[in-house]
Amino acid sequence: MPSNDHAEASAGEPYLPPATQPVRAVVWALHLAAPLLGLWLLLSNPERLNIRWEHPPSHFLLVVAVAGVNVGLGLLVGRAATRRQDARLLLVSLVFLAGAGFFLLHGLATPTVILPRGSHGFDIGQPVGLTVAAVLAFVSSLPLGERAAAAVLARADLLRAGLVVVLVGWGWASLVEGLTPLSAPPPPGGATIGFVSWVGAALYALAAALMFRVHRRRPSAMLVSLVTAYALLGEAMIAGFFRPNWLMSWWEWHLLLTLAFVFVAYSAYVQFRHEGSSQGLFDSVALAATVRRIQARYDEALEELVGHLRRMGESGSPSGPPVATRLAGKFRLNEGQAAVLDRAGRALAAERELSARLGALADVGRRARVGLGEEDLLAGALQRVRQAYGEVRIGLVSDGEVTVGGRRFGADDFKGVEVIPFGGSVVHALTVKGKLAGALEVPVGATPQDEALAATLASQLSIALENARLYRELETLFRQYMSPDVAASLLADPGQAALGGSLVELTALFADLKGFTTFSERVAPGEIVEMLNRYHAAAVPCVLRNGGTIVQFVGDALLALFNAPAAQERHAAQAARAGLAMQEAAEEIAAGNPGYPRFRVGINTGLALVGNIGAPELRGFNAMGDAVNVAARLESLAEPGTVVIGATTRDQLGPGATVRPLGPLVLKGKEQSVEAFVLTALD
């Protein structure tokens, strides 16, 4: 299974924290190189510098002190491993405990403490113990995957017990005189453990390098101290290779051990003083999965705090310490940290509330689109706004007054004031064209930003309300005097109202009533209007349903365009369907009124100049060109109840059209004859 740390490393170029910037990197390198330089100086001048100083009490106290530091670190890291259930922390704790155990045994094996003289165990105990710790350090630095980490945690007790058994066995063998060769004097020429020393040094070097990679992705002072400690322990293994005992180079070995673990202990102390708690001292050392889990727990805690603060804000109850106290106990925070968390939660709650209100304002703006009815607009806006502002109420003016929140307001109430305080709320006026149109009641905000947002909300709702009412007027007046497509095009792009036009292929449909003049002569004007309205009421929907645009009514005639101004892919077929539907609807009217004139329809397809024609003071949308003229001529030649189409229209309809040829027709104003057809059906 791929490891979490490896996936984290492959996510991109690692961040270079201040501790690894070039200047500090040089200082760090010098810090680690100084002990090796000292060792080289001692070995290069053995008689002058590498002098012998044999003082068993000093050695005992130094080693036992280092062992004590290691025990403290091991227990701290072990507690963190148990609390976080992290395999890396468990292994790091075993590194310190193994070092502590072997250092203590090495100190007890110091001549004149328990044994009267030097022993083989005294010579090799510390290198062996460091090598055992090096193996644990190397394994701890590996990017353990979930399965491997779970396997290590499952064997935590076995690992601890095994370490205790090894330490007890080594102590028994090395401190009981005459029991094993470890308690006997070292062999002539000293102990030969060079291979062990170099293996341990290599393992520490690898562990330091792997931990440094973790540090680059997750900068931390504790990781820096751990990397430094591993490097110093590796150097100690190298220094320990150059014997004999009690020389300055031998003492340097012990000094490096002391520096390594004191460095980690001091870093932990500084971090504890800085944070005021031991809760997260070693979290940065943990595996990536553990760090994400810890972060998720902190996020949950902050969410819990924010939710509590939000509920308190909605209920109006005073803030108290129960949640902060519970979280402080849960995460072992001190009072200062709990106070910071409380302030952070309040700030986050305020920020989220602000974001929610800004989002509600944006939604109200999006909902206030042209064409949305006033009731739907206000209902949708109110539902959305209440999610962010709480119990918001809207009232509209009726008989000059508006009722909101159980109180009536008139226009005079808002003269000279922007808002009216009303219990735990404020009331803003909603206006249309400067006149009172309604009122908005919003709960009182906690900050000046809340007051400004409430005023902005009132302004946004006023604009939306005014737009809805203006659009309703436009629907009633403007749209009934022109095609919906033309009206929509002008609303979307007012520049289309400019005089001029463009050449477009379209299909023109002309329709009028055969015998209209005779009918008009024998009936009253009121009957003429009634007849025209009945026919047009039946004909207009046929055009609109098929995507046509009616551009003219001239007495009993109408002109409809297809593919202008709205584009249509099959405009000829749409015009043909509209013509047939018009005749069908007109026949139903004529059947019940024998004296009514009959519709005739002419349709033709071709190029025409489409645009606004007229004067700056008065203009109209229309089409001009031969294609339109031919459609008018075909309509004048059509028999009542029929639809006559031109050859171009017939070609675009294809085989699905049922037609009857009329042959070449000589049309007024045309030098050449025109092929025409009577359309009777269309698939």
Same domain, residue pair 449 and 323: no
Same domain, residue pair 332 and 189: no
Report the distance separating Cα 112 and Cα 607, nearest Å: 118
Residue among 163, 195, 175 at smallest CA distance from 96: 163
Residue 244's contacts (CB-CB under 8 Å, 6 or more residues apart) are 190, 250
Structural domain includes residue 137: yes
Same domain, residue pair 258 and 344: no
> In the structure encoding, which two tokens stand for residue 128, read together?
């062996």
Phi, psi of 410, deg, nearest 5: -120, 175
- Helix pair 322-331, 335-367: axis angle to 10 deg: 120
How many domains are there within the chain? 4
For tokens 């405009």, the residue is 571
Same domain, residue pair 310 and 267: no
Same domain, residue pair 76 and 218: yes
Look at residue 407 in the predicted model and tell me its pLDDT. 85
289 sits in which H/E element: helix 288-315
Residue 397's contacts (CB-CB under 8 Å, 6 or more residues apart) are 436, 437, 438
Residue 454 · residue 358 · CB < 8 Å:
no
Report the distance separating Cα 230 and Cα 208, nearest Å: 5
Domain final residue pick, 422, 442, 476: 476
Same domain, residue pair 149 and 177: yes
Task: Indicate the pTM of the whole model.
Answer: 0.45
Structural domain includes residue 481: no
Same domain, residue pair 105 and 128: yes
> In the structure encoding, which two tokens stand for residue 172, read together?
């028994």
Same domain, residue pair 624 and 664: yes
CATH number at residue 633: 3.30.70.1230
Sign of the dihedral through C-alpha 567, 570, 574, 576: positive
Output the CA–CA distances (angstroms, integers) from residue 599 to 221, 398, 413, 585, in the order listed.
93, 49, 61, 10
Structural domain includes residue 43: no
Same domain, residue pair 164 and 224: yes
Q: Give mean pLDDT in consecutive 10-residue pieces for the chain, a chain of 683 residues.
A: 43 42 49 51 52 66 75 80 84 83 74 68 72 86 86 89 86 74 65 68 84 78 74 68 56 62 64 57 74 73 64 51 56 57 64 67 63 69 72 83 85 82 82 84 73 78 77 63 59 58 92 91 90 93 90 90 87 96 94 90 95 77 91 94 96 95 89 93 92
Same domain, residue pair 142 and 253: yes
419 SS3 class: strand
Structural domain includes residue 608: yes
Look at residue 273 in the predicted model and tell me its pLDDT. 59
Domain final residue pick, 217, 241, 274: 274
Look at residue 508 in the predicted model and tell me its pLDDT. 97
Residue 405 · residue 427 · CB < 8 Å:
yes
Same domain, residue pair 520 and 639: yes
Structural domain includes residue 36: no
Same domain, residue pair 233 and 132: yes
In terms of DSSP bridges, do strands 643-646 and 598-614 run parallel, antiparallel, or are they unpaired? parallel
Report the distance separating Cα 559 and Cα 557, nearest Å: 7
Report the distance separating Cα 632 and Cα 637, nearest Å: 9
Structural domain includes residue 77: yes
Report the distance separating Cα 456 and Cα 76, nearest Å: 56
Structural domain includes residue 658: yes
Q: State the residue range of the domain holding 465.
A: 371-476
Domain final residue pick, 205, 239, 274: 274
Structural domain includes residue 234: yes
Sign of the dihedral through C-alpha 164, 170, 175, 179: positive
Look at residue 474 in the predicted model and tell me its pLDDT. 65
